[in-house]
Amino acid sequence: MDKIRVGICGYGNLGRGVESEIGKNPDMELVAVFTRRKPVESLKIKAVVPVIHVDDAAEWTDKIDVMILCGGSANDLPRQGAAFAKLFNVIDSFDTHAKIPEYLKAVDRSAKEGGNISIISVGWDPGLFSLMRLYMGSILPLGKTYTFWGKGVSQGHSDAIRGIDGVADAVQYTIPVPDAVERIRSGENPDLSAREKHTRLCYVAAEPNADLGRIESEIKNMPNYFSDYDTTVNFITKDELKARHGKLPHGGSVIHAGKTGEDCKHSLEFSIKLGSNPEFTSSVLICFARAAYKLSEKGETGARTVFDIPPILLCADEEKTVKNLL
Amino acid sequence: MDKIRVGICGYGNLGRGVESEIGKNPDMELVAVFTRRKPVESLKIKAVVPVIHVDDAAEWTDKIDVMILCGGSANDLPRQGAAFAKLFNVIDSFDTHAKIPEYLKAVDRSAKEGGNISIISVGWDPGLFSLMRLYMGSILPLGKTYTFWGKGVSQGHSDAIRGIDGVADAVQYTIPVPDAVERIRSGENPDLSAREKHTRLCYVAAEPNADLGRIESEIKNMPNYFSDYDTTVNFITKDELKARHGKLPHGGSVIHAGKTGEDCKHSLEFSIKLGSNPEFTSSVLICFARAAYKLSEKGETGARTVFDIPPILLCADEEKTVKNLL
């Protein structure tokens, strides 16, 4: 069988994750890594495949079955998503929730124009957690779904702290409030504020002679990111930060508390504990790349979300799946 | 909007569950209950809809959009599945794992002949748990998936005990072994025998003067059902059995322990705690009935499993789902 030929665009945490994990799937192979870096030789990668400049991507349309976009949602994907959809079948992890409908439309137009399939917003949230919210809420419509993130490192919040004057480096952990989780597990349907669901724990390495009091206050009062949460700030050295907070574990749960009959309670919970957030997210992207390829082989075009994908398309061996997993 | 018109075939625990839960879905309505009972007037139902004999079902093809078969897998579905697929879009909960491929083929032939859609083996296992096994195993192919059932009442095992001479009534609980669950949660990938995964707890009301020692021994040594498990048998009175073991709670978990990178561990878990097994199972059937209707409206025909269904088809409001749940 011919393998599904995959390209990686962007070689950050996520790109390196795809590079590391694709070999776990015998039906897929990595064929090239695309980068904005100039000269491309300055990018050292682990895999033995060519490194190509993104501007030359169009020359690779007949050598790549699915391109996995591994850039960020803030700057990279808004520019790349639609452009690449014209050239390739594409997977991305666009995660700016509020802008998804608009992004979906733009990518859909391009993908149809190019005769390709794009699956957008793939990962664990949005992605796997979205699927869980859909299944749970559709099965038990009288109910409420709660999503908890953590304990894990939030890149966005860590970056926000790093932007503060006097901060050399920082890592921020998002942590679910155990009492909130327990109340929902036990069948309650509480209305919870942001503060009641998660706390934020920050490890900050300050520049020499920086005003720690001011830094702490700027963090705790930062709107959207921290002001709505109980936030703890710990100052530590750069070395400590690197040694003790250099990994990227994460996790979370989707919990649905629902009712049937008169007052019969049901609780559904999906929980993940991830040793490495980028390696897990990459694994989700890779398995949806398989689905994009299959849809494209059937002649379908346009943009899809994880909600549109028949689960069987994620499987390398469909017949075995029906036989063994049903 | 026209409501999706649903018929129930079979009025046991599951049929009553569908009757109870369908009203929670504003886009669906129950239009008739079908029974093998003669005369049909002898069947008293709660809903204010006609009770029809199954032999007259063919007269209802233009009044019903989806028929939910609520009979059992041992006797009812092997006869009804293919027959009804010729007349209606059909949902069933066929759960004889080993016979699913063969059943799927037979129903597919009939459904195509009738120009209808059938979705087979819907429920929580097979069904929702199957979907979890698929997602988890496809995302982390280097890993192992474990399924635990319970604590909950197994109808099949309860029935098996009731078949023993001298037993007036019985209830059997399947219970996961906590230590096994914990080992997997903590990232181990053990090989576990049936005995190491579940224990079986039986409450038995014996006939007057029955030989309790013989009953206990017959239960514990029953092949397939009990001999491979650590089984506890408690004799209680019929009244106690009714009062304390008359409900049908259930639950279970699918746990996947997987790896990425060199030796980075991930654990994914889907767990359910059900106040009422039949009411929950019915809720799953109802939401897949919506998907069957939508597929049929698109002109598709043939048999499907839960693996083939794009999740978005389960939702009453697709646009809202993409906006709010992704």
Intervals of chain A under pLDDT 50: none
Sequence-distant (≥ 6) Cβ neighbours of residue B241 within 8 angstroms:
B169, B170, B171, B203, B205
Intervals of chain B under pLDDT 70: 1
- pLDDT for B187: 81
Q: Is B121's CB within 8 Å of A323's CB? A: no
Q: What is the DSSP pairing of strand A4-9 with strand A28-35? A: parallel
A156-190 exposure pattern, b = at least 16 Cβ within 10 A, e = fewer: ebbebbeebeebebbbbbbbbbeebbebbbeeeee
Q: Which of A142, A279, A321 sits opposite B260 (nearest CB)?
A: A279
Q: What is the DSSP pairing of strand A230-235 with strand A198-206? A: parallel
Q: Do residues A107 and A81 lie in contact, with contact meaning Cβ atoms separated by under 8 Å? A: yes
Q: How many Å is the Cα radius of gyration of chain A?
A: 21
Strand, coil or helix: B236: coil
Using CA atoms, how far residue B141 sits from A22, A37, A55, A315, in Å, is: 10, 32, 34, 10
Q: Is B128's CB within 8 Å of A138's CB? A: no
A246 touches chain B (CB under 8 A): no
Q: Do residues B157 and B172 lie in contact, with contact meaning Cβ atoms separated by under 8 Å? A: yes
pLDDT tens-digit profile of A269-286?
999 999 999 999 999 999
Sequence-distant (≥ 6) Cβ neighbours of residue B86 within 8 angstroms:
B110, B111, B113, B114, B116
d(CA A105, CA B308): 25
Q: Which of B107, B131, B130, B109 is nearest to B119 (CA)?
A: B107
B17 touches chain A (CB under 8 A): yes
- pLDDT for B221: 96
pLDDT tens-digit profile of A114-161?
999 999 999 999 999 999 999 999 999 999 999 999 999 998 899 999
d(CA B179, CA B196): 9
What are the phi and psi torsion angles at A181 (to 5°)?
-60, -45
Q: How many CB pairs under 8 A join A and B?
A: 196
d(CA B172, CA B151): 10
* Residues of chain A positioned with their CB less than 8 A from the CB of B269: 269-272
Which residues make beta-bridge pairs with B53? B35
Using CA atoms, how far residue A291 sits from A4, A301, A308, B185, in Å, is: 11, 13, 11, 29
- pLDDT for A70: 96
Q: Is A270's CB within 8 Å of B270's CB? A: yes
B189 touches chain A (CB under 8 A): no
B29 touches chain A (CB under 8 A): no
Give the tokens for residue A184.
């929902």
A125: nearest CA in chain B?
B326
- pLDDT for A235: 97
A260 touches chain B (CB under 8 A): yes
Q: Name the average pLDDT for chain A.
A: 95
Give the tokens for residue A221.
């009062």
- pLDDT for B244: 95
ipTM of the complex: 0.96
* Residues of chain B positioned with their CB less than 8 A from the CB of A308: 310-312
CB neighbourhood size of A13 (10 A): 16
